[in-house]
Amino acid sequence: MKRPYETVVVFDGSLPDDVLQKEQKQVEDLIKQNADYEKTDIWGKRALAYPIKKKRNGYYCMFLFEGDGTVVMALDRYVKLNESILRHLTVQRNVKNDAARAAVAARREKAAESEQTETEAQQEE
């Protein structure tokens, strides 16, 4: 049975950008081979809250996909063997929360647009 998952991977932030993109592409390819890949959200380089393997910075990526448990096990096995990955976490997504987040984002965007038009109207007067 296919379920929606999200996996956050923290790569070593001290790696060059081309190596980080290559590592990210390898994780995407692994997911694409075994599951229905949706998208990747790149959060970029950030300081870690505490050192991991003597590293202070990490490159964060979130992978969204749908698959069964074997995909998660294969991904977990790959991540444990890859030394350029500091941490990872895979959780089952709640699709209802995704829809609610999208609705809130749409409302915020609409409110920002109406506020901008009001500001422009006041400036014209």
**pLDDT tens for each residue of 44-80:** 999 999 999 999 999 999 999 999 889 999 999 999 9
Question: Which residues of the chain, if any, have pLDDT below 70?
Answer: 98-101, 125
User: From residue 58, how far is each of 6, 15, 25, 30, 123 by CA, in Å?
Assistant: 18, 9, 17, 21, 44
The answer on 41 and 85 residing in a single domain is: yes
- Are both 107 and 87 inside the same structural domain? no
In the sheet that holds 85-92, the strands lie side by side as 36-52, 55-67, 3-12, 85-92
Closest C-alpha among 65, 17, 83, 79 to residue 44? 17
Full residue range of the structural domain in which residue 12 is found: 3-93
pLDDT at 121: 74
The confidence score (pLDDT) of residue 120 equals 75
Q: How many structural domains compose the chain?
A: 2
